[in-house]
Amino acid sequence: MHLLFVCTGNLCRSPVAERLTASWAQKTLGANAAALEIASAGTGAPVGEPMDPRSAAALRRMGGQPDGFRSRPMTAGMAEEADLVLTATRRQRRLVLEMAPRALRRTFTLREAADLLSEVDLDGLRPLSPTARARELAVRLDARRGYRRVSQEDDILDPIGRRQAVHDETAKAIATALRPLAGVLFLGQELHGDVQPFEDGIAAGY
């Protein structure tokens, strides 16, 4: 399974999504999580910068680890090789598709994917391998996309340069959207409420 998260600078939103997803994968799959590729990049990212310290602090409070993270610019190959691409905003989704139009059917904003998930039939996903599950989920999300109206509510605020509370709220928005998707990707079923192993940070209000 190859997941790619995309924002602008690859300093706040996409690193939070990457490292939080990696943490949940480790808690859910144990040693099998090593076979997954969970990555992030930015449409206008610098090379080799650490996470924004405020987003790193928000991530730590949710159980994720920012240590060793380094930013990187997105390339067409990254999107083309991913089984599922999740962006922070509609604009970033458009920029990804300008670079990698062949990734259309597996590229969504994070909130768009989370919302579409409630309309998707999840039958038959659990027995699939992680890679096949991610690819099949992308197909099913894409099939429902035409029935949904895109809006500014699909965008997750960029907290760069803002106070800690904004970074906390942004991290919370990311975690809330990611939670049900992680349940399907790792377990083959949608999770609701404070269900282990996804309760870290969520139950605490992050």
Active site residue 83: no
Marked catalytic residue, from 13, 93, 106, 133: 13
Marked catalytic residue, from 52, 61, 102, 121: 121
d(CA 48, CA 69): 8
Tokens 């490292």, residue? 19
Active site residue 12: no
d(CA 87, CA 179): 15
Marked catalytic residue, from 7, 115, 154, 200: 7
Q: Which residues are catalytic?
A: 7, 13, 121
